[in-house]
Amino acid sequence: MIRQQRFLLALIALIVCGALIVVTPIGKQFGFGKVNLGLDLQGGTQLTLQVKPTEEVKNIDDQVMAAVQSVVANRLDPEGVSEISVQATSNQQILVQLPGVSDPKEAAKLLSQVAKLDFRRPNNAKVAQLNVRQSELRKLLAQQEQTEKEGNKEAIEKLNIDIKQKEQQVADLRSQYYEKTNLTGEDLRNAGYSPSQGQPDLWDVTLQFDPDGGRKFAELTKSIAGTRQPMGIFLDGKVISEATVEEKFKENGITGGAAVITGNFTLEKAQLLANQLKGGSLPVPVTIEEIRTVGASLGQESIRQSIYAGLGGLVLVLIFMVYYYRLPGLIADIALCIYGLLTFAAYVLLGVTLTLPGVAGFILSIGMAVDANILIFERTREELRDGKTLYRSIESGFYRAFSSILDGNVTTLIACAALYWLGSGLVRGFALTLGIGVVVSMFTALTCSRTLMFTAIGFPSLRKPELFDAKRAKVVS
């Protein structure tokens, strides 16, 4: 019995240390993040986009959603650097979160356009010009070495200016390198990716045009086959891929309306490009269903107020427990602090995004955690008043309260599961924090309180009934 207690005590100490490591800055060195704050707490803009089916795309499946998602993410954050999050949710909606953005004007503008995919070919005149300018540039660069050897400062400077000019001309021509063709995303029926033949770990992107698009594509490829000049694939005016066409297609172009882009793609890159192509090829209208903007300091104010409220409530609960339940109350308070720590660590480990309702769920779960302790101590008191020994009373207090703690918590968990499963956004965050709270509180009430309690009554000086029951103390004295 005592050995078991020591073991549990060590286990609790271990878990508490682990939780401390997770939540403190030390945890960052081990790769644990911070608790993510929802937009309502850190300020920012949240948009809900509704994807609408069209004549051609009547059924919006996961593939379509993935395509739209990738286009949205690309438009808002072409470099993929900011902390935006784009999630597909149920009901064919896409949830976009832009932390720190208090003016969603730009984002809304970007999103209200329909993605445009088109294929472009090199503009022969410009290509010719570019070639001339490039060879001129090469000549100038060759001269530079010679001039520098001669050491004539004026000549060097003049040459440098000339080179700069030439470089500018080359860059200008480069940007005009492509000219539009009549082949656009509307001609593309589908895009996908498949493993490269003979090259493990590398992937190709496959294209499938409709008959009309197939003809246009054949024409385009015929014109550039074997020239080593690439065609450009543009999404919203930005080049997303360039591909050359092999010599063998010079006769007829790539016919049959299907093509493969081999470019040593990794799986992710191939997926991305296929999604971009599909996204561009799918003119599914996207409407902005909801915009919520919270100013940054408004969010901070909410945090501060909620934290004060929570801490205030918690302190009152702690005081009440010690006042009413004496020594067990103190032990419950310690268990409660462990509870708070473990719950917070669970948020970090599970990557919970803490929203305002989530904070409320946490504060509320404190109440639930206390409830389990109250059930146990009320029962212990009853047993004491029935004349049982202290040890037996505590033991049966824990034992007999167990069934109601279990049943009560399981029913709450059932409600949480229903909320999490069917709810979205706010509701989900709340259900998750409450659910975590319920599970952790079962552990702290049944294991921590119990072990600490038995450790405490191991000290003879703490084995006095008046430390357990105020009424009894009066009788004794």
Partner 1 sequence: MKLNVNKQRGLWWSLSGAVILAGVIAMALSWNEFKAPLRPGLDFLGGTRLQLERDCRQPGNCDLPIDVADIRQVLQEKNLGANNIQILGKEKQAVAIRTPPLDEASRNDLKDALTKKLGKLDANKSQIDTVGPTLGRQLFTSGLLALLLSFLGIVVYLTFRFQLDFALFAVVALFHDLLVTVGVFSILGLTQGVEVDSLFIVGLLTIIGFSVNDTVVIYDRVRENLKLTPHLSVAETVDNAVNQTLGRSINTSLTTALPLVGIFAFGGETLRYFALTLMVGFVAGVYSSVFIASTLLTWWRERQGQGRGGYNSTVLNSNSALSDASPEEL
- Subset of 416-445 contacting partner 1 (CB under 8 A): 416-419, 421-424, 426-427, 430-431, 434
How far is Cα 189 from Cα 56, in angstroms, rounded to an integer?
10
Structure tokens at 47: 């948009």
End-to-end CA distance of the chain: 33
Q: Minimum Å distance from CB 422 to partner 1?
A: 4
Looking at this protein, which amino acid is placed at residue 11? Answer: L
Single out the segment in contact with partner 1 by CB under 8 A; choices: 54-62, 172-180, 241-249, 353-361: 353-361
**Which one of 308, 385, 475, 476 is in contact with partner 1 (CB under 8 A)?**
308
| Token output for 35 | 């608790």
CB of 316 to partner 1, least distance (A): 5
Segment contacting partner 1 (CB under 8 A): 17-25, 65-73, 259-267, 402-410?
402-410
Query: b/e per residue, 145-184, with b = 16+ CB within 10 A?
Result: eebeeeeeeeeeeebeeebeebeebeeebeeebbeebebb
Candidates 32, 249, 402, 443; binder of partner 1 (CB under 8 A) is 402
Interatomic CA distance for residues 102 and 125, integer angstroms: 46
Beta pairing class for 36-37 and 353-354 = parallel
Residue ranges in 94-210 assigned as alpha helix (H): 105-112, 124-150, 153-175
The single-letter DSSP state of residue 91 is T
> Which structure tokens are listed for 275?
């999604």
Instruction: Give, for 181, the enclosing helix (H) or strand (E).
Output: strand 178-184
Q: How far is the CB of 73 from partner 1 (least distance, A)?
A: 20
Q: Do 232 and 277 contact (CB within 8 A), yes or no?
A: no
* Stretch 100-129: interaction string toward partner 1, x if CB under 8 A: --xxxx--xx--x-----------------
Binding of residue 298 to partner 1 (CB under 8 A): yes
Decide: is 14 part of the binding site for partner 1 (CB under 8 A): no
Count of alpha carbons within 13 Å of 93, Cβ hemisphere only? 15
d(CA 419, CA 7): 37
Element of type H or E holding 316: helix 296-350
Per CB under 8 A, the list member of 95, 183, 273, 363 interacting with partner 1 is 363
Of 227 and 396, nearer to partner 1 (C-beta) is 396
Residue 477, amino acid: S
For partner 1, the closer CB: 267 or 415: 415
Provide, rounded to whole angstroms, the least separation between the CB of residue 138 and partner 1: 50
Pairing of β 203-209 and β 44-51: unpaired
Tokens of 211: 């008959």
Under the binding rule (CB under 8 A), the answer on residue 382 touching partner 1 is yes
Q: In the set 125, 316, 350, 470, which binds partner 1 (CB under 8 A)?
A: 316
- Find the shortest distance in angstroms from Cβ 58 to partner 1: 19
- Residue span 256-295 as binding mask against partner 1, x where in contact by CB under 8 A, dash where not: --------------------------------xxxxxxxx
CA 382 to chain centre: 50
Residue 334's nearest CA partner among 375, 370, 382, 376 is 370
CB of residue 10 to partner 1, shortest distance in Å: 21
Number of residues that bind partner 1 (CB under 8 A): 85
Nearer to partner 1, 110 or 240 (CB): 110
Min separation Cβ 308 and partner 1, Å: 5
Residue of 305, 385, 471, 475 interacting with partner 1 (CB under 8 A): 305
| Interacting residue with partner 1 among 320, 350, 386, 475 (CB under 8 A) | 320
Task: Estimate to the nearest angstrom the gap between the alpha carbon of 230 and the chain centroid.
Answer: 37
Single residue of 98, 321, 352, 453 touching partner 1 by CB under 8 A:
321
Complex with partner 1: residue 10 or 427, whichever CB lies closer:
427
Instruction: Find the binding residues for partner 1 in span 41-60 (CB under 8 A).
Output: 43, 48, 50
d(CA 431, CA 406): 18
- Determine how β-strand 93-99 pairs with β-strand 203-209: unpaired
Which of residues 157 and 290 has its CB atom nearest to partner 1 in the complex?
290
The stretch near partner 1 (CB under 8 A) out of 17-25, 233-241, 257-265, 399-407 is 399-407
Select from 8-16, 71-79, 99-107, 199-207 the region that touches partner 1 (CB under 8 A): 99-107
Region near partner 1 per CB under 8 A, out of 116-124, 126-134, 144-152, 359-367? 359-367
**Closest approach of Cβ 51 to partner 1, in Å?**
13
State which of residues 12, 270, 327, 375 lies at the interface with partner 1 (CB under 8 A).
375
Greatest alpha-carbon span in the chain: 111
